[in-house]
């Protein structure tokens, strides 16, 4: 009898901004309506099938928050607002973002949803393009879009069996606000069923629930980022090494505590984030009380120093190597470990979606049977244990019927098969196995950590994380308090693997900017909580890939074309005085869900340029800039080049004041901003704000590059906005050929 150990890994990044309490993307909630509930509920039909679900704690606490009505995201707000009250910005947001679903399986199968997509057009509009499309949509269109964006994600079982959902499906279009209320009632009902359904399945003994480190970090990299050099000895390294095994231990301890609170028992199994393992993490996992863990077959091959090979049909030539649990020994500790069959797992995740359900199930079961027979033949009668481990949520969007026909066909065959027996991972790993003196360091992707630390963007992010972690250590050494506890939480969130997954050129999505922004916001929050100056680098995007790829919008900046000679009076004295200036148009950040309740930006345009000795900057706003400053606000230029320089303007005692600030290090190594005095600068505020900064005061000469952000803060020092959002305004100081180059151009 062949043991089949299936593990479905349920994971989403931690999308919440801990300061605003807003979730920037909706995938926890939407998958909660479908796969997180439906995958485990389906097992009630097949009581003889036993599987393992790996539930990441940071996913679970977000599900809890949405179920209890404590969480919100802009998509949810947009879906619930009365359609007649939607602003043009709301409508543009929906047009841009409410079609993020599999086109064939989740949009085109519903005529009204497909009609709305056709009205938008098949491309992926950016924010400006979406605004231009708003007139195409009536109030009724937008209301139907509010419904279909959510209705398409409802669990297929509910689509079949719930009268409320059947009625909405039957209606198809011309929905009412009452229909939306019914759909939201179902939404809350489903979200409240998710965690109890897993608990019930575990209580009846049908499933095992395992866990991952709380915020899904790469444990080996937390222990020591230099572990990457084992596979890439010549690789560039972060400017500061990250070595915090105590954080790895804390992520494990928090996972256990969360699991015990929600399910009433301690987990004994661990899927290390991204299947990432090393000798350093083994004693931490064992000390936390875990009895088994799992990773990928290529890790086993590298550990054994022997290949795991397949024939042209993907069948193992040495099944006795892979189809057994091992005992990994490292650091004086021991833990059982299963190694997933990469080929069979990927057939479910990436091959079968286009197959008829019965044909796919027959093929998969036949491969399991053949593998078990081959193992028995090569071992003289042994029983194979085949680990199947894969993502339990994302694949089903690509399957007909949300994957339920395939899963039913598969479970039906496994329930009654004379040669196959489903087991949990704990059962599969409980019988001991051969010892491994150590384990090769790597992940489920290529048995290395390149995805998470191999690109310059990754390394920059690790450096930022290490420096924030160092600032936390210094603050805690003085005395832990509520602020340091909150700062520690921000660091732990920033240690998650997902931020690094999207950096670099190996993966990209339509939401790269959101991931990048949220990562840097977590680190900025650390410094805010510790009352330390925020490094300017954390206001600049870590994304270095070419603009325009995967939804990344280039900045709306034009460069200077001529030398300037403006009159500094705060007014538009002459059309010609800023004619040769460069400009930055203030735009809404595409997909910036965290801005859902913000008022429109104060600033509308930034102009900048030079004469031979001066940098000029002009700020235009929705209101008079003099009035803005009179209300206590401050406008500042935050320079990235030259680094550590700021120029701020505010009103004090009825008169305009300005000053240069320079970043200095205090006696304890802490950073602060010191007043350099006004020097030769000048400013004037009226309808606009005009600034003049001598190049000599900036330490800049012809040919040098300047880079700066424009920021507006309120009277309490809270930053209201920053432009650009992700990359600074950049300009080159003109040389003697500047005019000639622009004239010939």
Q: Could you report the per-residue pLDDT of 195-246, keeping only the tens digit for each?
A: 999 999 999 999 999 999 999 999 999 999 999 999 999 999 999 999 999 9
pLDDT band of residue 626 (cuts 50, 70, 90) is very high
Under CATH, what is the fold of the domain 455-544?
immunoglobulin/albumin-binding domain-like (1.20.1430)
User: Strand 705-713 vs strand 719-723: parallel, antiparallel, or unpaired?
Assistant: antiparallel
Concatenate the DSSP letters of all residues of 589-637 into one string. PTT-GGGTTPPPPSEEEEEEEE-SSEEEEEEEESS-HHHHHHTT-EEEE
Task: Assign 739 a pLDDT band (cuts: 50, 70, 90).
Answer: low
pLDDT of amino acid 427: 97
The residues near 304 (Cβ < 8 Å, ≥ 6 apart) are 321, 436
> 721 to each of 364, 539, 589, how far by Cα in Å?
54, 11, 12
Model confidence at 35, in pLDDT bands (50, 70, 90)?
Answer: very high
**Which residues make up the CATH 3.20.110.10 domain(s) of the chain?**
1-446
- Look at the alpha carbons of 399, 402, 406, 411 in this order and tell me if their dihedral is positive or negative: positive
The predicted structure's pLDDT at residue 675? 72
- What is the rounded average pLDDT of the residues 572-587? 83
Q: Is the pLDDT of residue 743 over 90?
A: no
Question: What average pLDDT does range 273-299 have in this prediction?
Answer: 98
Return d(Cα 518, Cα 536) in angstroms, integer: 16
Cβ contact 84:138 at 8 Å: no
pLDDT digits (tens, 9 = 90+) for 70-104: 999 999 999 999 999 999 999 999 999 999 998 89
The reported pLDDT for the residue numbered 660 is 84
Summarize the confidence of residues 462-480 as an average pLDDT: 96
Bridge partners of residue 713, in order along the sequence? 634, 719
Residues of the chain with CATH 1.20.1430: 455-544
Residue 340 has pLDDT above 70, yes or no: yes
Q: Which CATH superfamily hosts domain 1-446? A: Glycoside hydrolase 38, N terminal domain (3.20.110.10)
Do 471 and 552 meet the contact criterion of CB atoms below 8 Å apart?
no
Comparing CA positions, the residue from 379, 375, 415 lying closest to residue 46 is: 415
Sign for the CA dihedral angle at 96, 97, 100, 104 comes to negative
Reduced to 3 states, what is the DSSP secondary structure of residue 412? Answer: helix
Q: Rounded to 5 degrees, what are φ and ψ at 111?
A: -55, -45
* Interatomic CA distance for residues 544 and 714, integer angstroms: 31
Q: How confident is the model at residue 720 (pLDDT cuts 50, 70, 90)?
A: confident
pLDDT in tens, 642-691: 887 889 999 988 899 888 887 765 554 455 666 766 568 999 999 999 99
CATH number of 557-744: 2.60.40
Specify the pLDDT at position 740. Answer: 63
Mean pLDDT of 346-368: 96
For the residues 107-134, what does the mean pLDDT come to? Answer: 92
Inter-axis angle of helices 177-203 and 245-263, nearest 10: 100
Parts of the chain belonging to CATH 2.60.40: 557-744
The pLDDT score that the predictor gives to residue 210 is: 98
Q: Phi then psi for 352, rounded to 5 degrees?
A: -80, -10
pTM for the structure as a whole? 0.84
């Amino acid at each position: 009898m062949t043991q089949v150990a299936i593990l479905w890994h349920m994971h989403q990044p931690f999308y919440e901004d801990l300061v605003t309490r807003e979730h920037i993307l909706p995938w926890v909630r939407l998958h909660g309506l479908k796969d997180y509930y439906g995958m485990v509920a389906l097992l009630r039909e097949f009581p003889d099938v036993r599987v393992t679900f790996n539930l990441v704690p940071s996913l679970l606490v977000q599900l809890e928050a949405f179920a209890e009505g404590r969480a919100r995201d802009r998509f949810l707000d947009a879906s619930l607002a009365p359609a007649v009250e939607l602003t043009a910005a709301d409508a543009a947001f929906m047009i841009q973002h409410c079609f993020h679903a599999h086109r064939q399986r989740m949009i085109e199968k519903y005529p009204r949803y497909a009609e709305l997509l056709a009205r938008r057009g098949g491309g992926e509009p950016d924010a400006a393009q979406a605004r231009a499309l708003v007139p195409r949509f009536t109030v009724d269109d937008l209301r139907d879009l509010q419904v279909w964006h959510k209705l398409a994600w409802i669990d297929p079982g509910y689509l079949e069996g719930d009268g409320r959902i059947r009625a909405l499906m039957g209606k198809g279009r011309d929905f009412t606000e009452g229909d939306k209320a019914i759909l939201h009632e179902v939404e809350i009902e489903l979200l409240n069923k998710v965690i109890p359904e897993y608990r019930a399945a575990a209580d009846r003994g049908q499933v095992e629930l395992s866990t991952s480190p709380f915020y899904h970090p790469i444990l080996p990299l937390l222990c020591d980022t230099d572990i990457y050099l084992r596979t890439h000895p010549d690789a560039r390294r972060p400017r500061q090494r990250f070595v915090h095994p105590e954080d790895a231990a804390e992520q494990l301890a928090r996972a256990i505590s969360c699991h015990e609170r929600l399910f009433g028992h301690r987990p004994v199994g661990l899927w290390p984030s991204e299947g990432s393992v090393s000798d350093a993490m083994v004693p931490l996992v064992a000390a936390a009380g875990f009895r088994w863990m799992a990773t990928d077959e290529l890790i086993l091959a590298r550990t054994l120093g022997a290949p795991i090979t397949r024939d042209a049909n993907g069948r193992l030539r040495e099944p006795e190597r892979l189809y057994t649990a091992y005992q990994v020994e490292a650091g004086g500790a021991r833990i059982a470990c299963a190694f997933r069959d990469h080929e069979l797992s990927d057939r479910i995740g990436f091959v079968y979606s286009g197959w008829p359900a019965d044909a796919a199930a027959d093929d998969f079961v036949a491969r399991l049977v053949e593998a078990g027979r081959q193992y028995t033949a090569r071992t003289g009668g042994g029983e194979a244990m085949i680990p199947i481990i894969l993502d339990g949520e994302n694949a089903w969007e690509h399957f007909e019927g949300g994957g339920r026909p395939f899963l039913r066909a598969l479970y039906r065959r496994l329930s009654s098969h004379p040669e196959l027996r489903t087991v949990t991972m704990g059962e599969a790993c409980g019988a001991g196995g051969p010892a491994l003196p150590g384990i090769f360091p790597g992940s489920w992707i290529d048995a290395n950590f390149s995805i998470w630390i191999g690109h310059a963007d990754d390394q920059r992010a690790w450096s930022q994380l290490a420096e924030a972690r160092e600032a936390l250590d210094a603050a805690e050494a003085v005395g832990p308090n509520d602020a340091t506890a909150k700062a520690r939480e921000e660091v732990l969130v920033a240690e998650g693997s997902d931020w690094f997954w999207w950096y670099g050129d190996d993966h990209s999505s339509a939401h790269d900017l959101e991931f990048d922004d949220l990562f840097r916001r977590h680190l900025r929050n650390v410094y805010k909580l510790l009352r330390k100056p925020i490094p300017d680098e954390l206001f600049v995007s870590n994304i270095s890939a070419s603009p325009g790829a995967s939804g990344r919008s280039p900045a709306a900046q034009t460069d200077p074309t001529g030398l300037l000679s403006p009159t500094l009076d705060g007014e538009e004295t002459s059309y010609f005085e800023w004619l040769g200036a460069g400009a930055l148009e203030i735009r809404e950040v595409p997909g910036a869900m965290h801005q859902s309740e913000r008022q429109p930006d104060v600033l509308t345009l930034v102009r900048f340029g030079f004469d031979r000795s001066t940098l000029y900057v002009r700020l235009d706003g929705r209101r008079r800039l003099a009035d803005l400053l009179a209300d206590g606000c401050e406008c500042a230029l935050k320079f990235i080049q030259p680094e550590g320089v700021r120029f701020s303007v505010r009103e004090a005692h009825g008169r305009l004041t300005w000053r240069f600030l320079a970043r200095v290090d205090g006696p304890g190594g802490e950073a602060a901003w010191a007043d350099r005095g006004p020097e030769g600068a000048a400013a004037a505020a009226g309808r606009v704000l005009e600034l003049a900064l001598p190049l000599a005061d900036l330490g800049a000469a012809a040919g040098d590059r300047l880079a700066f952000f424009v920021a507006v803060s309120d009277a309490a020092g809270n930053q209201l906005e920053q432009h650009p959002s992700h990359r600074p305004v950049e300009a080159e100081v003109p040389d003697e050929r500047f005019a000639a180059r622009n004239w010939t151009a």
